[in-house]
Amino acid sequence: MALKLVQSSNSIEEKRPREKLKSYGVASLNDSELLSVFLGTGYKKLNVQQLSNHLLAEFGTRGLFQLQGLSNFQEATGLPFVKSCQLLAVGEYFRRLQRQDDASLKSSEQFFEYTRDDFKRSTFEQLRVTCVDAQRRVLFTGLIAQGSGNKLSVTLAAVLHHPIRLNAHAFYLAHNHPKGSLKPSKEDISFTLQIKKESKKFGLHFDDHLIVGKEEFFSFSLEGLI
């Protein structure tokens, strides 16, 4: 097969990103064109392709999606609220996919390393669930409750929803103490024991509940509390 350079408005380089995707498939799009599809429209005096080129030239593909926090993202990029939300959501979605594909959790220590970054920017108490299959591969991880300060309330249905929905082999829970030590409260212990009891009714393995700090964690399982 011979390659030939052409100068034509019908060439692949001349097509707009969506037209190019339709004609040649999504793999034919370069990084800037993919970003153009995410954004949909331009901003101020830049059309969408110019805006995409500018963002990638300024931050690079990895750098753009490593920006964290809405206000920080808007300040760094100069983008308005909606477009900032779009790109932050895309970046977070693919981070979760990548992390789940690679993750296999076989110990409380591995679970801590897996989930610790989820709490780094939180100033409120959060409760997260992570579900695994029989090979210990992550099926799902996500936030199920957020409180005010050091107080958090959650229903049993919310805790068990994803493990039951996914027919998970086992699940982990993790929450943070943003303004206190990692020592569990009486309410933490009572909550954990209740979840252990109720999960057995559904044939679910409740592997551990962690209280997560920046560099350390408390494990209910390792401490013999479940």
Alpha helices in 78-185 (DSSP H): 81-102, 108-115, 156-165
Instruction: State the first-to-last Cα distance of the chain, in angstroms, to the nearest integer.
Output: 66
Nearest-5° Cα angle at 112, 107 to 114: 95
Q: C-alpha 179: how far from its chain's center?
A: 24
pLDDT at position 8 is: 45
Contact between 199 and 163 (Cβ < 8 Å) = yes
Which residues have CB under 8 Å from 176's CB, separation 6+? 119, 122, 125, 126, 211, 212, 213
pLDDT at position 99 is: 64
pLDDT at position 102 is: 62
Tokens of 164: 């039951």
pLDDT at position 98 is: 66
d(CA 42, CA 49) in angstroms, rounded, equals 7
pTM above 0.85, yes or no: no
pLDDT at position 191 is: 94
pLDDT at position 149 is: 62
Contact between 103 and 133 (Cβ < 8 Å) = no
Averaged over successive runs of 10 residues, the pLDDT of the chain (226 residues) comes to 42 67 77 86 86 85 78 87 88 72 83 88 85 90 80 90 93 89 91 95 96 92 93
Mind listing the domains of the chain with CATH numbers? 17-100 (no CATH), 103-219 (3.40.140.10)
69: phi then psi, degrees, rounded to nearest 5:
85, 135
